[in-house]
Structure 1
Amino acid sequence: MSSVGENVDDRISRLPEDTLSHILSLMPTKCAVQTSVLSKRWRFSWMLVTNLDFDYTVTHSDNGLDSFPKFVDRVLGNCKTSRLQLFRLRFCDKVVSKSRVSSWIDKAVRLDVCELDMQVIPFELPLSLLTCKTLTKLRLDFSGSEHDGWECASSVNLPCLKTLDVVVYTNPLVNVFKLIRGCPVLESLSLEVKFSDNGGDYVFDIPTLKQLKLILVKCGYAVNSVVLNVPNLEHLSVGGMLGSLFVVNDLPPSVEVLVSFDCVVSCECTMLDLWSQFMRGISGVKSLTIQEVLSSSPLPVFQNLTLLDLKSCWYSGEVVKCCPALEHLCIEKSGKYCWGESCWFEPKLVPACMLTNLTTVNLTTRTWQTSDMEFLAYILANAEVLKTVTVTWESGSVEEERRLCTKLTELPTASRSCEIHFQGASGPRAVKVATGH
């Protein structure tokens, strides 16, 4: 009778070759190659993997800087797969010549690669990559160098590319937008610029685009423009420093917007309020998440907004007044941006949404303050069609949670069908409320 270990080994070894190939493709390539020493059955199985994942920070050995490129050469030279799903290459040190990297990309293209993920030193993108007919997803991270050493020397034609993710240190105007123009079916674009020198306008004229993420980590002091001509956009995420004038043309009302600007950067010679200008540009959307409010300037009226999610930022009743169609309000207070005791300002008139539309309110906090109860008391007393209020307190003691729930039960409600759900560190608690005044 064979041992348990032998039975297990036999069952794995008897798996079909394509199943073994799929399993090995889920591993880092170095680990997949190491299975060749298990037995004769496994000696060549790694050669049929459909994913090649080379990460110098993980896979290099102590044999010197030459070990990594030699390993990649060996794997690509012996790879027998007919179609490569993923080729990932990551290293930041100048341990590989640019010509060698180009030859690896050429090999991946010849294997009909679908996804290419490069985090490497800047270099000239080879023609084979710029005209690859099988590529559907491309990620380029050239942020490891402060010099714009990479370029698209030739015209770009990527007929099947739907996802493009680019990280550069600075100056995306020439090469990044040259890539974009060569992607006729592009649906998802992520662009992160470590230092935006504001040397020109960023014009996103992409009728096929559904998702756009734009992060400007650091900006200069001259105002340029970010022009959005994206009529079919579904998700928009912008963040970093706000140092540009946003020109938004025909943004679909159904788009979901995430705003996570850290601060506003503007030159002294302009009177533009960049934050207010940006908010006016997105005032027609239905869903809005804001990480931090940057200006006390009056907000525009968001006529179509049904979902407002405020994270780590101040809140007052004036915000709701700007959202007459609001149905769902979420507020998440982090430890970094805790409200003061007097931060809740009750609006002079009850906002229109509370009389006809507001049905759910979620409040999450780490430090409970008097203003939190003032806010909840006002919402419950004035929101006539409110259905659910969810309160999450992440750091209260069991006794503090009990006292808070008791106070919540004493608050009068305008809605006859409102339920309050409380989630604390000790778990969920049921809260019974009085129905109606």
Structure 2
Amino acid sequence: MSSISENVNDRLSMLPEDIHSRILSLMPTKFAVRTSVLSKRWRYTWTSVTNLDFDYTRYVRSNEKIIKKFVDGNEEKFKTFVDRVLKFCKTSHVKLFRLHISSYGVRRSSISNWIDKAVRLNVRELDICVIQHEVPLSVFTCKTLTNLRLELSACDFGGWEFPSTIYLPCLKTLDIVGCNNPLAIHGCPVLESLSLEVSCNAEEDFVLNIPTLKRLKVLCRSDSINDNSKVVLRVPKLEYLFLDGVLSSLFEMEDMSCLVGASIAFWHSRFDFLWTDLLNQLRGVQNLSIENFPFTSPLPIFPNMKQLELNSTWQSRQITQFLESCPELKTFCVDFVDWRDFKPEEPKLIPACMLTNLTNIKFSKCDGDASDIEFLEYMLGNAHVLKTVTVFAHENLLIEEDPWFCTQVLKFPRASPHCEIHFRTRKLPPPQELEYDDSDETEAFY
């Protein structure tokens, strides 16, 4: 019996070394190192990992968002740990090097040395989030790098600068935060995905000319974008566009024929005409998500629109305006609705998509008030080819504690005889806190 038990318990150790390396590479480095205490055979197994993940941060979940907090106290111990890991690591090709530090106590010189070491290990993916105003120049000439994320936050420096010389021949994904001069992006001949912050001034437009780009996310900063500047996008292969921040500048888009989806989440706009101009340039999009829509000006027709998502709270006239502008719409998703001012029109004025194409409706944040009931009654009574309506309510609200709402909705007349109504609860994750664990077990291999 004991021999059978020993064989079962030893099956993991009997796996090939490359399998051990893959398993340990899937976990944070501090946990991979702890396996050195299992047995003599496992003492140096972790040194062959292809992913190096160092995290000295604390995260707190609050209101469905993750907030990063500063931590202090064990910086020297963390530094010693990272130094020794890089010293004993025997791999010559690192797939991922992740370094997240939210403490001022870790020396900038140490951070630069660690990143430079990763470059010399032929790293493919770099994910750097540190309190630093610069990184080694070797990062910007790394021939093996395919993915790069840089978030350099330093309150005493304000922002950081791209070097004048960049050559990243294999880079496909670039995510930069806090950079003062994103115009310096160049030397990336195969770049496909880009995320960056944009700020312009009256003297110079922001021009992005990347013919290989397929995915673009732009955060427009409010501190320096102004009425006289433009954001010029020359990205003929772009498929997905994400815009966030403050809309204070005109957008000029050249050849957006490949664009499939766009997401717009501007929390402020100085002038309605900026929205009008932007939406006119997105007329050919198939999927559109919009948040914080501020005006009621006439909308362009979106002839190819198949899916529309309206986040935040929307008034009845805004919803019907969008439905009228999307004759081919099949899927409609909406968060909160304000249907109090809705005035029923003649049946002939029902949006065309509701008569011929609209098959799916998703109501994400239903509270069950009179406005919600009137909205659902209108959609069910006028969407002639509707197949599915899914209503998401707050946890235990309406569905379990107040079934009257569900009963009322199920009684509404349906223009489509094939329509099904589904009720779901929208559960929020419990608050939790994650932080760096500096257990002494990480020193077992020394």
Rounded to whole Å, the distance in 1 between the matches of 2:136 and 2:278 is: 38
Among 323, 331, 335, the residue aligned to 2:334? 331
Rounded to whole Å, the distance in 2 between the matches of 1:372 and 1:62 is: 48
| 1:71 alignment partner in structure 2 | 81
AA aligned to 2:212 is T
Rounded to whole Å, the distance in 2 between the matches of 1:45 and 1:221 is: 52
| 2:254 alignment partner in structure 1 | 249
| 1:110 alignment partner in structure 2 | 120
Rounded to whole Å, the distance in 1 between the matches of 2:424 and 2:79 is: 53
| 1:396 alignment partner in structure 2 | 398
CA separation of 1:103 and 1:330: change in aligned 2, threshold 3 A? same
- How big is the shift at 1:144? 4.2
| 2:207 alignment partner in structure 1 | 203
Query: Is 2:340 aligned against 1:342?
Result: yes
| 1:429 alignment partner in structure 2 | none
Rounded to whole Å, the distance in 1 between the matches of 2:12 and 2:297 is: 65
Rounded to whole Å, the distance in 1 between the matches of 2:301 and 2:260 is: 17
SS at 2:313 equivalent: coil
Rounded to whole Å, the distance in 2 between the matches of 1:61 and 1:325 is: 52
Residue 153 of structure 2 contacts residue 159 of structure 2 at CA under 8 Å; is this kept in 1?
no
- How big is the shift at 1:397? 4.7
Rounded to whole Å, the distance in 1 between the matches of 2:151 and 2:424 is: 41
AA aligned to 1:93 is S
CA RMSD, 1 decimal: 3.0
CA separation of 1:197 and 1:16: change in aligned 2, threshold 3 A? same
- Residue deviations 1:304-355, cap 9 Å, x none? 212111122314322211112222212222xxxx52x514344562222223
- How big is the shift at 1:233? 1.4
Residue 343 of structure 1 contacts residue 371 of structure 1 at CA under 8 Å; is this kept in 2?
no
Instruction: Answer 1 or 2: higher relative contact order, Cα 8 Å, separation at least 6.
Output: 2
Q: What number of residue pairs does the alignment pair up?
A: 407
SS at 1:372 equivalent: helix
Residue 117 of structure 1 contacts residue 139 of structure 1 at CA under 8 Å; is this kept in 2?
yes
Among 87, 90, 94, the residue aligned to 1:80? 90
Query: Is 2:411 aligned against 1:405?
Result: no
**Which runs of 5 or more structure 1 residues have no equivalent in the other structure?**
427-437
Among 257, 266, 274, the residue aligned to 1:261? 266
Residue 226 of structure 1 contacts residue 246 of structure 1 at CA under 8 Å; is this kept in 2?
yes
CA separation of 1:345 and 1:147: change in aligned 2, threshold 3 A? farther
AA aligned to 1:166 is I
- How big is the shift at 1:138? 0.4
Rounded to whole Å, the distance in 1 between the matches of 2:164 and 2:83 is: 26
AA aligned to 1:342 is R
SS at 1:384 equivalent: coil
Among 310, 321, 324, the residue aligned to 1:318? 321
- Residue deviations 1:48-67, cap 9 Å, x none? 11111112237x99985332
Rounded to whole Å, the distance in 1 between the matches of 2:108 and 2:311 is: 43
SS at 1:237 equivalent: strand
| 1:213 alignment partner in structure 2 | 217
Among 181, 190, 195, the residue aligned to 2:186? 181
- How big is the shift at 1:143? 3.0
Residue 291 of structure 2 contacts residue 312 of structure 2 at CA under 8 Å; is this kept in 1?
yes
Residue 377 of structure 2 contacts residue 409 of structure 2 at CA under 8 Å; is this kept in 1?
no
AA aligned to 1:215 is L
- Residue deviations 1:80-99, cap 9 Å, x none? 01210111112233434444
Q: Normalization by structure 1: what TM-score?
A: 0.83
SS at 1:42 equivalent: coil
Rounded to whole Å, the distance in 1 between the matches of 2:225 and 2:146 is: 37
**Which runs of 5 or more structure 2 residues have no equivalent in the other structure?**
59-69, 427-446
Rounded to whole Å, the distance in 1 between the matches of 2:73 and 2:293 is: 52
Query: Is 2:138 aligned against 1:125?
Result: no
SS at 2:75 equivalent: coil
Rounded to whole Å, the distance in 2 between the matches of 1:376 and 1:274 is: 32
Between the aligned residues of both structures, percent identity stands at 48
- Residue deviations 1:74-116, cap 9 Å, x none? 2112110121011111223343444433332232122111100
| 1:300 alignment partner in structure 2 | 300
AA aligned to 1:308 is L
Residue 253 of structure 1 contacts residue 304 of structure 1 at CA under 8 Å; is this kept in 2?
no
CA separation of 1:10 and 1:204: change in aligned 2, threshold 3 A? same
| 1:369 alignment partner in structure 2 | 369
Q: What does 1:34-73 align with in structure 2 at a 5 Å threshold?
A: 34-57=34-57, 64-73=74-83
- How big is the shift at 1:291? 2.2
AA aligned to 1:280 is N
Residue 200 of structure 2 contacts residue 206 of structure 2 at CA under 8 Å; is this kept in 1?
no
- Residue deviations 1:246-288, cap 9 Å, x none? 2222223642111111112x3xxxx673222222221221111
CA separation of 1:409 and 1:239: change in aligned 2, threshold 3 A? same
- Residue deviations 1:186-242, cap 9 Å, x none? 11111146xx47464322211211111112354446233222222211211111222
